[in-house]
Chain A
Amino acid sequence: MKIADVHKSFGHLEVLKGVSLELMKGDVICIIGPSGSGKSTLIRCINALTPFQRGSIKVMGIEVNDQHLDKRALRRRVGMVFQQYNLFPHRTALQNVMMAPIQVLHQPRKEVEARARALMKKVRLEGKENSYPGEMSGGQQQRVAIARSLAMNPEVMLFDEVTAALDPETVKEVLVTIKQLADEGMTCILVTHEMRFARDVADRIYFTDRGVIVEHGPPEEFFTSPKDARTRTFLGQLS
């Protein structure tokens, strides 16, 4: 994936002021930064949920800013997990996971069901297949959301502050799931506040502030000797 000089404004407010980064298959990167720095906006631009004015984002050869972009084709290959989980409340957990492969990819039901059950097992929610989202805790819902995105067999996974709405105990269960994914070789972009997790799982860390990427580097380098003053201030505020 290649993101080059992306600019995005909401009306008069410029949120992304020329962001560039590159990603290889199997890379796991974390984007951190203060609120309003544009990290969530950037992630949403990648799978075309939010349009952007200038620049280019190329995902596996698909140019996202293309006028004639087949958005659905892009989204079949890029999965996204949200802060608010956004499970469909009128379907059970298993149905949530199964819905998209059946209705969008038109895959046979039996095959999808088997895969869905395996995914539920993988996120350690075996036994919760027939529960509704309303009956599950936040951490459980978030793991179902991860399973739901994985069911589409994406090549890239985007995580938008997925643990921000959870309480500390449940945060851990979700992070373990993500680490497992990363270790298995999935290409992941995480926007997160969890510094220790970022240090543990990321190949590279990117720091954004006010719409630009201020600094980036491998975690050891980034956390122990940040080069930019803004990075230092931000990391200092956290400890």
Chain B
Amino acid sequence: MEVLHRSAFRMPPAHLAPVPPVRLRAWFGLVLIALIVLPAAFADAAATTAGRAGIFATLARWTPLLLRGFGFNILISFVAMTIGTALGAFLGIGLISLSRPIRQVSWTLTQFFRNAPWLVLLFFAMFMLPFQLRIGGLLIPLPDWMKAVIGLSLPVMANVGEIVRGAVLSIPSGQWEAAESLAFSRHQQIWTIILPQCVKRMLPPWMNLYAILTMSTVLASIVGVNEVMTLAGQVEAAEGGRTDLLAPLYGWILLWFFLYSYPIARLTLWLERRYHVEI
């Protein structure tokens, strides 16, 4: 569908002017945090009684442990992204295959893993994968987190497949024709001519996918993997089940995810602008 182009804009009458998009400066965030934190700190200090430590002190005490949990989430996201991308690249090539059966199998796989909820796929992996693999004579244990990684890499694979397919389809047909005219084989065409040109345009959606994946790693807590959310639950229990600790605790974790994801989102936007594709 043709998108009416922004170049249709000239200087508009003031009250109908499209408002310039807001660039959030870092100091806005600091102001926001200060606005929330300072009064909360005062209220907290006022409410602190002997034997019941203040919320900030508690958070600070447990932060190192929680950070290790958060690090584990990041690790899960890296491994799942790597596996998913590798599998997805081949799936993407299957989607553009000249052979109809391969295309259909690839399409079915893609639709299946894209339309299934990530949590259901996680359960799927947790229950269906054995707790150890026997390959040759080796007995490889599959801990819970490894199963979660596999479960998460399935939707990543499907999405990467779609990204690859989209990027390949956006390469002008003239490139394919030139490559064919020079008698390159299909394999050579894909790997030496088309795919290298695709990498740049695949980067923004791929990074977007990584951000989504990172946020989805917390789903692993539901299936019993020991990551930051499970630790948060344990912290709350260790503190005697204080319900007023929960909002700040989860807020604190929200902040970490935000600080990790927001720069990635900005970088993705910048890359998208830089590698803007003229079709």
Direct contact of A and B (CB under 8 A): yes
Interface membership of B18, Cβ < 8 A: no
A195 to chain B, nearest CB (A): 26
Name B194's closest neighbour in chain A (CB-CB).
A88
Considering the chains assembled together, what is the distance between the CA atoms of A72 and B185 in angstroms?
7
Alpha-carbon distance A152/B175, docked complex (angstroms): 18
Residue of A nearest to B197 (CB): A90
Residue of A nearest to B196 (CB): A90
Q: Quick one: given A90-B196, A99-B192, are A104 and B183 in contact (CB under 8 Å)? A: yes
Chain A residue with Cβ nearest B198: A90
Q: Are B177 and A76 in contact (CB under 8 A)?
A: no
Shortest C-beta distance, B4 to chain A (Å), equals: 27
Give the residues in chain A near B197, CB-CB below 8 Å: 88-90
In the complex the two chains form, what is the Cα distance from A129 to B257 in whole Å?
49
State which of A30-38, A77-85, A172-180 sits at the interface with chain B: A77-85
Q: Which of B177, B183, B184 contacts A82 (CB 8 A)?
A: B177
Across the interface, A84 reaches (CB within 8 A) one of B174, B180, B188, namely B174
Asked whether any CB of chain B lies closer than 8 Å to the CB of A87, the reply is: yes
Q: Complex: how many Å from CA A100 to CA B188?
A: 10
A104 nearest in chain B by CB position: B183
> B178 is contacted by which of A71, A88, A152 (Cβ under 8 Å)?
A88
Q: Write the chain B residue with the least CB distance to A105.
A: B183
Interface residue A75 (Cβ < 8 Å from any Cβ of B): yes
- Which residues from chain B contact A72 at a C-beta distance below 8 Å? 183-185
Question: Considering the chains assembled together, what is the distance between the CA atoms of A99 and B184 in angstroms?
Answer: 10
Contacts of B181 in A (CB 8 A): 47, 49, 75, 79-80, 82, 149
* Also in contact, A75 and B182, with CB within 8 A (given A89-B197, A103-B192): yes
Question: Across the interface, do A100 and B184 meet the contact criterion of CB distance under 8 Å?
Answer: yes
Which of B172, B177, B182 has a CB less than 8 Å from the CB of A104? B182
Q: Is A131 an interface residue (CB 8 A)?
A: no
Given contacts A49-B177, A82-B174, A82-B177, contact A88 B183 (CB under 8 A): no
The answer, among A84, A86, A104, for a CB contact under 8 Å with B184, is A104
How many residues belonging to A are interface residues under a CB distance threshold of 8 Å?
24
The digit string for B167-179, where 1 denotes a CB below 8 A from any CB of A, is 0000010110111
Interface centre among A75, A88, A104, A152 (most CB of B within 10 A): A88
User: Which of A71, A86, A100 gathers the greatest number of chain B CB atoms within 10 Å?
Assistant: A86
Asked whether, in the complex, the Cβ of B196 is within 8 Å of the Cβ of A86, the reply is no
Are the C-beta atoms of A152 and B183 separated by less than 8 Å? yes
Determine if A143 is an interface residue (Cβ-Cβ < 8 Å): no
Tell me whether chain B's interface is mostly helix, strand or loop, or mixed. helix
Distance A71 CA – B196 CA, assembled complex (angstroms): 24
Asked if B47 is at the interface (CB within 8 A of a chain A CB), the reply is no
Nearest-CB distance from A190 to chain B (Å)?
16
Q: Is B237 an interface residue (CB 8 A)?
A: no
Residues of A within 8 A of B185 (CB): 72, 104
A88–B172 CA distance with the chains assembled, in angstroms: 11
**What is the distance, in angstroms, from A146's C-beta to the closest C-beta of chain B?**
12
Shortest distance in angstroms between B194's beta carbon and chain A's nearest beta carbon?
Answer: 9
Checking B178, B192, B196 against A87 with a beta-carbon cut-off of 8 angstroms, the contacting residue is B178
Picked from B174, B178, B180, B184, the residue with its CB within 8 Å of the CB of A103 is: B184
Query: How far apart sit A82 and B174, CA to CA, in the bound complex (Å)?
Result: 8
Contact of A103 with B188 at beta-carbon distance under 8 Å, contacts A76-B183, A90-B197 already known: yes
On whether the beta carbons of A100 and B192 are closer than 8 Å, the reply is no
Question: Chain B 70-114 against A: per-residue CB contact (8 Å), 1 yes, 0 no?
Answer: 000000000000000000000000000000000000000000000
A82 to B175, CA, bound (A): 10
Is B267 in contact with chain A by the CB < 8 A criterion? no
- Residue A7, interface by CB 8 Å: no
A72–B197 Cα distance when bound, in Å, is 23
Instruction: State the Cβ distance, A142 to closest chain B Cβ, in Å.
Output: 12
Residue of A nearest to B181 (CB): A80
User: Which residue among B172, B182, B188 has the maximum number of chain A CB atoms within 10 Å of its CB?
Assistant: B182
- Residues of A participating in the B interface, judged by any CB pair closer than 8 Å: 47, 49, 71-73, 75-76, 79-80, 82, 84, 86-90, 99-100, 103-104, 145, 148-149, 152
Please list 14 pairs of residues, one from A and one from B, whose beta carbons are closer than 8 Å in the complex, sorted by A's number. Answer: A72-B185, A73-B183, A75-B181, A76-B183, A79-B181, A80-B181, A82-B177, A84-B172, A84-B174, A86-B175, A100-B183, A104-B182, A104-B183, A149-B181
9 nearest A-B residue pairs (beta carbon): A86-B178, A75-B183, A100-B182, A86-B174, A80-B181, A72-B183, A76-B183, A84-B174, A104-B183
